[in-house]
Structure 1
Amino acid sequence: MLPRIPLDDRSFESILQEARRSIPRRLPEWTDENTHDPGITFLELFAWLGEMQQFYLSRVPEANIRKFLDLLGIAPLEAAFAEAEVTFGNVRVPVVLPRGTKLQAEDQVFETIAPVRLIPIAIDRIVTRTEKEASDRSASNERGNVAFYAFGREAEAGSRLYIAFDREPEVGGVLSLHLKLANEALETPESVVPSARVTWKAYSWDEETGNSWMPLEVLEDHTMHLTNSGRVSFAVSVPMRPVIVHPAGDRPRYWICCILEQSGYELPPRIDQVLMNTARVRQQDTKSEQQLFDGTGLSDQAYASHSFLARYGKLRVQVREPDGRWREWRELPDFSQASADTQGFIVEREAAEGGAVTIRFGDGVRGAVPPEGSGNIRRIHCTEDFAELRFIGRSNGLPHQKIRLYDLPCKHKDSLRFQVRAPDKSSGQWLWEDWEPVDNLDRSGPLDRHYVFDPATGELTFGNDENGAIPWSSSEPNLCVTVCVFGGGERGNVKPNLLNRWVQEEQDELLLTVENPGYGFGGTEAETLEDCVERARLEWQTPYCAVTDEDYVRIAMETPGLKISRVHVLPNYAPGRDNPTAGAVTVAVVPEGIDDTPMPSKGFLSTVAKHLDDRRLITTEVHVVAPDYVKVTVHAVVVVEPHFMEEGHRIVAALNRLLAPLDQPGGIQGWPFGRTVYKGDIYGVISRVKGVAYVQDLWLDAEGKSVRKSGGGDLILSETGIVYSGIHRIELISRTQL
């Protein structure tokens, strides 16, 4: 079967029907529209010709489509690296794992994103305490299968979360916790203003105050005051002391405490687990990496690296020449035999696990001194097995060269960088030229060392000396990789407890255990050209500037890091002003919450306001406010059939569905902002309940801001008013009693 070609959305039938619909308007005297009429035959002919013309016009080559997308500043998305949280166990002594430490889940390699410091401390007990109760959550935290509220369901100010350790943390060290929240659904950017504020304390000893709860210095808080999952790190500056915290009263323990100082959570934080010795890893396998350092021009320059490849891989060192090319310096055992012109370095390794690997240059007498410069000293590290694969080919000096990389399955354009070896005419030695990846060579000049890398085919394409330079010709391989990273795609979204092996055998000697308690996340395949075109169409129709009411609703609902239930826009309205205000826009937002009347905090409103302020028209004045909730209570006397005398709860349920501020399942929309509650609405919903004969009497009560009752008993709300149900009072009377 031939592949389906993406034609224009107008088919033969749609063109023909559009033409036939225009006959009464354009030619009212044409009354015979049957198939035998010659005019209809001509319409069918031209519809066929139009469809065929669109067919050929729509057969645009893929290269042209990519050029069109490039004009719009859009390119297909590359495959994304998956990430996961891993927890290390059986930590007996302090250990530092270098950045890039490799772990394995089946055939997928993961690497630590940053250095990981492991300490021999475990969480012993967890206690939550509010004004009403204190609960031991240790069992829930250990299993990780039952989430618990960090500060109770109400999350009132003064509530506390206590965490105890099995031994005293070392003074002068760093204590890190990873809090995994159950109600987190999206990443929270730094621009979000937290809705609540917490402080951390530890039961410690001080010369002035003795044993007491003292503030902990927070080094980092990726949870943003327990808004989302992340790591919290503290500096332990004073000795901690054991103390008994109820209900964990069997023995004293070393406790820290998180205190909710300022309430305001829209969704009170629920914790799945509090973990220690946890780090984030990324599904990638770095075969070669490079690091740049600034030369000082002084003697005995030293540059340290704490990466995994620096410790376990092969090393090359290069120094940049004045013309921008790089000269490779060689490794020496020591400087005892070196002269002032010897371009070399020595390697110094720290004995501790995860210790730095340092390169040191000479002092100008024993060994040359690299010159001063910004980023003019480079370290290149690669794995042992990649050392033989780093030369990927040679240049023949011809334009439009193409080199296929069969052994390097890189899925990102920036995951592959290389140099080209070229002779130095003055010294006769070899120098290295850096080449940079670009999306295409259309904007490249004849001297630009650019190339195009296609991850899908693994093909390198060079220029023609007009659009992009041609690599130096060589009879031997002269293209050498400096950066090579494998990985990316959906397969990195591994299942829990699969990330449990070390790649480097030396690290097995640490006797550490590792596992991922949750799923991998974020790994995606590269975007196809068809998907990219569809995304471009959607983005073209998506408003990025707030002009109309619909724009404000859409942009406010998409505020990063927030969960918003409803948005209402009031044009030409400013809070506190009686008369309409030209150029003013007021946006009322309702957050998602666990109760019927969720209220946004000041931080929530500030975040939405900042998001809209960046996208408003320059002359528009934007206000973001909370909704004004009005509690409506219905008092009704209802006449029902005799066998429905016990069904009053159905009427109450119908009223609750009608007078709901939030959207409900089944397509039921919440009460519109500012809409008057008419008694007729209540009559109608009660009368539709099965078994109701009629409503004999009805009156409404309301509690809330800026609500008033009309002469007929209707409730008139403010512009930002929205209703919710009180405790309705329904009196049922049987028809037989009348």
Structure 2
Amino acid sequence: MLPKLPLDDRTYESILFEARQGIQRRLPEWTDENAHDPGMTMLELFAWISEMQQFYLSRVPDRNRRKFLELLGESPRQATASAALASFGGIGRTVLLPQGTKLLAEDQTFETAAPTTLRPLAVDRIVTRTEREASDRTASNTQGDVAFYAFGADARAGSRLYVSFDREPPVGEPIELTILLAEDGGHGSLDAWQAMPLTAALAAMPADAGEPHVPPSIVPSARIAWKGYAQDEQTDASGWLPLETVGDETLHLSFSGRVTLKLNAPLRPVLVHPANDRPRWWICCVLEEEGYEEPPRIDRILLHTALVVQRDTLSETIDCDVPEEGEVSLSANTFLSRYGLLRVQVREPDGRWREWREVPDIGAAGPDDRVYAVRMPQEGGAQIVFGDGAHGIRPPGGPGAVRRIHADKTFADKRFIGRSNGLPMQRFNVYDLACRRREHFLLQVGMPGERPGEWLWEDWLPVENFDRSGPLDRHYMFDPDTCEIRFGNDERGAIPPACDEANLCLVVCVLGGGERGNIKPGLLSGWVSEEQRAYGVSVTNAGYGYGGAESESVSDCIARLQQRWLEPYRAVTDEDYAALAKATPGLRVARVHVIAGYAPGRSDPVPHAVTVVAMPFSRQPTPKPSKGFLQTVARHLDDRRLIGTEVHVIAPEYIRVTVHAVIVVEPQFAHETRRIAAVLNELLSPSGSLKSAAGWPFGRPVYRGDVFAALSRIGGVAYVQELWLDGEGRYAAKSQGGDVLLPPNGLVYSGEHRIELLSRTQL
């Protein structure tokens, strides 16, 4: 008996029954449904064919499904490593942390994504000042549990955010402030750190943290300027002078991110109210041009932060360019180059790599010696020096001519995973190396050189399968789940040459990845290196780790692609324009309305024009988009519109609607005017409420019948005795029946409703 498979549980009988049920609906003139009818025979035949097709489709193995995915240019995603924001404290002297500095979160290893410089400087006080008030926000920033407005709840031009330091910052050195906005701040970061990758943070993240990220093109809604109270060298007077903004990942405090400032003149101590106890070294952020859809609320302002990725690099390679002339001295500044083991290889004309030998003194080498010397600077990784032709051979010049291979000291005995016997379909198991991605597990295959002790190495590349590999392709398969390595059979993939010694060597090995790396705040607390632990610097993570995910199954990949298939990429219909505008990267678009055949400022219909009305998320009663907001949406749609389509993005036109009503209620409800006004506020809302997220429809008139029905449904209301509406705003009008008419891009919001309640006993 053939096994039942779960793809489709319909049987022959159920398929035939569904077909017979459709006869009366599609062909009512077909009245003979007996077995002798030729039509019934055809239905039975097609029902049998459908059942057989379902059975064969259910038997398609994952290997075939992967091939189908390859035809679409897709494959299941590999495991990704999480990222977190590390914050350093207790800095007594300047410390240079190389890229790949290893930190501990319980038993998980995290590494810094870029070199980091820690200077003895700390945030002392934080003050916000508007036209109405000045407030000291230091306690909120220190505890990190109460967010505060950077420029007040209204974010008016001229408002300021002051930050002081505990000592004078050095001139010419960058000051990096990491500003974390609250969850509903800016354009809506889901997590205090999760919004940082909108700009340079995610663009700089390594490939193992996710797919390549392209920062969205966003026009800031407002404009800020950074200043410092410094001494003007030309006039020898002190005042608020502009600071050089080296980088601004926050896009003028629209997102969480890092702001890098540079002092061109020394700061001078000054008193800033209400921090009047002593003069301090202050910088300030001035809101020069207002326009935030949602005023920025700051959760924390931090110094000395770094992006860290959950991974443990046991071996890495760095390909170095060699100048055609002059001394050859190659430097690197990574964690393994400073604290790990070093091997040096030089590229041969045939593409192979020859391993050179380290000597203590390059001056004692002969003219034919393939050697190098190592220098260890006080700060930085190992520096390798080659000969000049008289003392040691000079390596050939060119890009990527020299390769540095750095390995962790604990990984020295694990680099060589075995030797090839020259037979096809060789397999090797590496059980104790939990690599989660194929590109983090790179091999070299070696063979002895001409001289005793010399080796020549060839790079081999990982592939998902050998289907496209030829007999000369140096490919291998690595399964991250089983940690098994497989080689080809000399028809599909080359065979590694046989050797009496271990000639399979790992040159890149990176561990880590998965959901477990999404750590909680405060879990990052230790250093791996004893040398770095001696600095006395503390470390923690200010927020959650994010982005870690397990490898994707074939079924999950197919489901993801099916969902993506439903998402529009090109704007053709009105629904496409609405979906694309609402999904504008970097913006929180609350509502979208599409008006086809309409162009602003033109009275006649324009067939090739499309106008999109965009409303941002905001806690204001009438959310108004800025010019930058509308330009960002317009750019996003312009890249996806059809040729010849004229796209306009405009703001909603708000109409204030006030309800005047005399309502007869039951005696016990005679004083509940606020409850009835709350119902009207919810009904006449542009952004909806907790009960109804839709809000009032764009351009729909406010009919007296709508308001009458809403009031009549309120508990305790007997009937509505009198009702009339008032509408205020541009393009607002009233019909003869007393309804408020709206323009096509119009939205309503509630005015001060005038409600008079009469008890039934008073009538």
Structure 1 length-normalised TM: 0.94
* Equivalent position amino acid for 2:271 in 1: I
Q: Sort the Cα spacing of 1:733 and 1:163 in 2 relative to 1 into closer, same or farther, 3 A.
A: same
Q: Does 1:364 align with 2:389?
A: yes
Question: CA distance change for structure 1 residues 15 and 229 in 2, over 3 Å: closer, same or farther?
Answer: same
2:167: which partner in 1? 167
Q: Could you say which residue in structure 2 is the equivalent of 1:311?
A: 338
Corresponding position: 1:339 with 2:366:
yes
Change beyond 3 A, Cα 1:108–1:428 = closer
Mapped partners of 2:28, 2:300: distance in 1: 75
What is the CA–CA distance in structure 2 between the aligned matches of 1:666 and 1:599, rounded to whole Å?
A: 23
Of stretches 683-692 and 132-141 in structure 1, the one that deviates more from structure 2 is: 683-692
Match of 2:209 in 1: none
Partners of 2:30 and 2:347 in 1: how far apart? Answer: 85
Letter in 1 for 2:434: P
Alignment of 1:98-113 (within 5 A): 98-113=98-113
More displaced 10-residue stretch of structure 1: 473-482 or 720-729: 473-482
Which amino acid in structure 1 is aligned with residue 753 of structure 2?
H
Structure 2: state its 5+ residue gaps.
184-188, 199-214
Paired position in structure 2 for 1:552: 577
CA displacement at 1:357 relative to structure 2 = 2.3
The aligned counterpart of 1:67 is: 67
Residue 459 of structure 1: how far off its partner (Å): 2.1
Among candidates 198, 203, 217, match of residue 224 of structure 2: 198
Partner Cα separation in structure 2 for residue 216 and residue 3 of structure 1: 74
**CA RMSD, 1 decimal:** 2.6
Residue 519 (structure 1) aligns with: 544
Aligned counterpart, 2:695:
670
- Aligned residue for 2:618, secondary structure, equals coil
- Which deviates more from structure 2 when the two are superposed, residues 460-469 or residues 515-524? 460-469
1:488 Cα deviation (Å)? 0.3
- SS state at 1:65 partner: helix
- Once the two structures are TM-superposed, the CA of residue 330 in structure 1 deviates from its matched residue by 1.2
**1:317-328 counterparts in 2 under 5 A?**
317-328=344-355
Paired AA for residue 240 in structure 1: L
Q: Distance in 1 between matches of 2:757 and 2:617?
A: 36
Q: Do residues 542 (structure 1) and 567 (structure 2) align?
A: yes
The separation in 2 between residues aligned to 1:394 and 1:10, in whole angstroms, is 54
Alpha-carbon distance in structure 1 between the residues aligned to 2:762 and 2:627 = 55
Residues of 1 paired with 2:11 and 2:89: CA distance?
Answer: 64
Alpha carbons 2:233, 2:265 under 8 Å: kept? no
Compared with structure 1, are the counterparts of its residues 623 and 11 closer, same or farther at alpha carbon in structure 2 (3 Å cutoff)? farther
Under a length normalisation based on structure 2, what TM-score does the superposition of the two structures give?
Answer: 0.91
Distance 1:622 1:299 in 2: 58
Corresponding residue for 2:465? 440
Are residue 487 (structure 1) and residue 512 (structure 2) matched? yes
Task: Give, in whole Å, the separation in 2 of the partners of 1:381 and 1:43.
Answer: 70
CA distance, structure 1, for counterparts of residue 431 and residue 4 of structure 2? 31
The structural deviation recorded for 1:401 is 3.0
Structure 1 residues 323 and 625, CA, compared in 2 at 3 Å: closer, same or farther? same
Higher mean C-alpha displacement, 517-526 vs 485-494: 517-526
Unaligned stretches of 5+ in structure 1?
A: none
| SS of aligned partner of 1:386 | helix
How far 1:668 sits from its partner (Å)? 4.8
* Equivalent in 254, 264, 275 of residue 248 of structure 1: 275
Cα deviation, residue 667, structure 1 = 3.5
Letter matched to residue 345 of structure 1: Y
Query: In terms of mean alpha carbon deviation, does 239-248 or 332-341 score higher?
Result: 332-341
Q: Distance in 1 between matches of 2:464 and 2:433?
A: 19
Which shows bigger deviation, 654-663 or 41-50? 41-50
Match 1:686 to one of 711, 719, 742: 711
Find the residue that maps to 2:412 and give its secondary structure. coil
In the alignment, is residue 295 of structure 1 matched against residue 295 of structure 2?
no
- 1:583–1:462 distance in 2 versus 1, CA, 3 Å: farther
Partner-residue secondary structure (3-state), 2:694? coil
Q: CA deviation at 1:458?
A: 1.5
Contact 1:301-1:362 at 8 Å conserved across structures: yes
- Aligned to 1:576, the other structure's residue is in SS state coil
- Name the stretch that deviates more: 484-493 or 449-458: 449-458
Distance (Å, rounded) in 1 between the aligned partners of 2:659 and 2:597: 34
Secondary structure of 2:410's partner? coil
| Corresponding residue for residue 614 of structure 1 | 639
1:424/1:3 Cα in 2 relative to 1: closer, same or farther (>3 Å)?
A: farther
Which residue does the alignment assign to 2:208? none
Contact kept, 8 Å, 2:153 with 2:295, in 1: the verdict is yes
Shift of 1:22: 2.5
Question: What is the aligned partner in structure 1 of residue 600 from structure 2?
Answer: 575
Residue 483 (structure 1) shift: 0.8
Equivalents in 1 of 2:179, 2:581: separation in Å?
28
1:349-401 superposed Cα distances (whole Å, 9 cap, x missing partner):
1124xx24211111221121111211111111001111111112222333333
Does structure 1 conserve the Cα–Cα contact (< 8 Å) formed by 2:83 and 2:548? yes
SS of 2:59's equivalent? coil
1:229 to 256, 265, 270: 256
Q: How far does residue 703 in structure 1 lie from its aligned partner after superposition?
A: 1.8
Q: 1 CA distance for matches of 2:684 and 2:13?
A: 48
Is 1:715 aligned to 2:737, yes or no?
Answer: no
Q: CA deviation at 1:42?
A: 12
Could you tell me how far 1:17 is from its partner in structure 2?
Answer: 4.1
The CA distance in 2 between the partners of 1:422 and 1:12, in whole Å, is 63
Cα contact 1:298–1:363 (8 A) shared by 2: no
Amino acid at match of 1:597: T
Letter in 2 for 1:247: P
Shift of 1:238: 1.4
Partner of 2:286: 259
Give, in whole Å, the separation in 2 of the partners of 1:586 and 1:316: 62
Equivalent in the alignment of 2:86: 86
- In structure 2, what residue type is equivalent to 1:131? E
Separation in structure 1 between the aligned mates of residue 388 and residue 164 of structure 2, nearest angstrom: 53
**Contact 2:682-2:688 within 8 A present in 1 as well:** no
CA deviations 1:450-502 (Å, max 9, x no partner) are 22222122222333334333222223221111111000011111122221111
Q: CA deviation at 1:312?
A: 0.5
Alignment of 1:400-479 (within 5 A): 400-422=425-447, 430-479=455-504
Measured against aligned partners, the alpha-carbon deviations of 1:628-661 in whole angstroms (never above 9, x if no partner) come to 1111111222233344321222321221121111
SS in 2 for 1:279: strand
- The CA deviation at 1:43 is 8.6
Contact 1:298 1:369 in 2 (8 A): no
Moved more, 633-642 or 221-230: 633-642
| Cα offset, 1:276, TM superposition | 1.2
Q: Residue by residue, what CA displacement relative to the aligned partner does 1:78-105 show, whole Å, maximum 9, x if unpaired?
A: 1111111111111111111111111111
For the residues of structure 1 that align with 2:577 and 2:43, how far apart are their CA atoms? 45
Letter of the 1:264 counterpart = G
The change in CA–CA distance for 1:594 and 1:12 in structure 2 (over 3 A counts) is: farther
Q: Is the 8 A contact 2:653 2:747 kept in 1?
A: yes
1:631-710 equivalences in 2 (<5 Å): 631-710=656-735
Moved more, 724-733 or 466-475: 466-475
Partner of 1:126: 126
Q: 1:5 to 1:608 in 2, by over 3 A?
A: farther
Deviation at 1:431, TM superposition (A): 1.4
Task: Give, in angstroms, the shift of residue 404 of structure 1.
Answer: 2.4
Please state whether the residue corresponding to 2:749 is helix, strand or coil.
Answer: strand
Find the counterpart in structure 2 of residue 278 from structure 1: 305
Aligned length: 732
Task: Give the equivalent residue in structure 2 for 1:499.
Answer: 524
One-letter amino acid of the counterpart of residue 202, structure 1? G
Contact 2:247/2:259 (8 A) holds in 1: yes
- Pick closer, same or farther for the CA change 1:13–1:215 going to 2, 3 Å: farther
Specify whether residues 76 and 247 from structure 1 end up closer, same or farther in structure 2 by C-alpha distance, changes over 3 A only: same
Contact 1:121 1:165 in 2 (8 A): yes
Q: Which residue in 1 is equivalent to 2:244?
A: 217
In the alignment, structure 1 residue 387 sits paired with structure 2 residue 412: yes
How far apart, in 1, do the equivalents of 2:677 and 2:659 lie?
A: 9
The CA deviation at 1:427 is 11
For the 8 Å contact 1:152–1:159, the answer to whether it is kept is: yes
Summarize deviations over 1:703-734 as a string: whole Å, max 9, x none. 22222222222222111111111111112233
Of 620, 626, 629, which residue of structure 2 is paired with 1:604? 629
Moved more, 47-56 or 450-459: 47-56
Provide the secondary structure at the position in 2 that maps to 1:57: helix
Does the 8 A contact of 1:419 with 1:434 survive in 2? Answer: yes
When structure 1 is superposed on structure 2, of 11-20 and 356-365 the one drifting more is 11-20
CA contact 1:650–1:689 (8 Å) conserved in 2: no
